[in-house]
Amino acid sequence: MSKIRLMVVGSILYVLPIIAGAEEPVGLADGNGGPLETLLGNILQFSNNVLIPFIIGIGFLVFVWGMFQYFIAGGANDEKKEAGKSLMIYATLGFVLIIVFWGVVNLVANSSGLQGEDIDGQVPNIPAPARSFEAPGFGGAGAGDGAGG
């Protein structure tokens, strides 16, 4: 009971200056999440762009290996067929869990405002070069200016 009381009192004493306005949380005074936002954005991009596709690829290979064991290697061998069948079932369950995990990660990202964040922050805007297009054979002086006929 005393440990719980100590935790509650410690939490209240930690939060009290923030509630009183005597101290602003680090990184929130300027309107962004600071280093934590950068870290979470990097983790989100890594998981969406590298980790989850890699795990899905491994799951696909396990599924294909199970199909190979079930259909080709286990032709008359019932043990190999059963092993291949269980591999395909586990790979299918793995796909479902990976997609659920991916959905949870994106749900947290969308609800916290981290969706669409870049690792480097700002992406430079490169303007397209302005050029005029003239169709072959129709260029030259007076083309397109409304004069002549």
Segment 7-65, tens digit of pLDDT: 776 776 666 555 555 555 554 444 466 777 778 778 888 888 888 889 889 989 999 99
User: Which is more confident, 69 or 121?
Assistant: 69
Q: How far apart are CA 70 and CA 63, in angstroms?
A: 10
In a domain, 79, yes or no: yes
Tokens of 78: 């019932």
The pLDDT value recorded for residue 29 is 43
The model carries a pTM of 0.50
pLDDT digits (tens, 9 = 90+) for 122-149: 555 666 666 665 656 655 555 555 555 4
Would residue 65 count as lying in a domain? Answer: yes
8 domain residue, yes or no: no
- Looking at the domain assignment, is residue 140 inside a domain? no
The rounded mean pLDDT for the chain is 73
Q: Using CA atoms, how far apart are residues 28 and 5, in angstroms rounded to an integer?
A: 30
> 132 lies in a domain?
no
d(CA 145, CA 69): 74
Domain presence at residue 90: yes
Q: How many domains does the chain have?
A: 1
Candidates 97, 91, 98, 93; CA nearest to 65 is 91
- Within-domain flag for 41: yes
The answer as to whether 17 is a domain residue is: no
The parent domain of residue 88 ranges over 34-118
Residue 133 pLDDT: 59
Q: How far apart are CA 37 and CA 149, in angstroms?
A: 64
pLDDT recorded at residue 110: 79
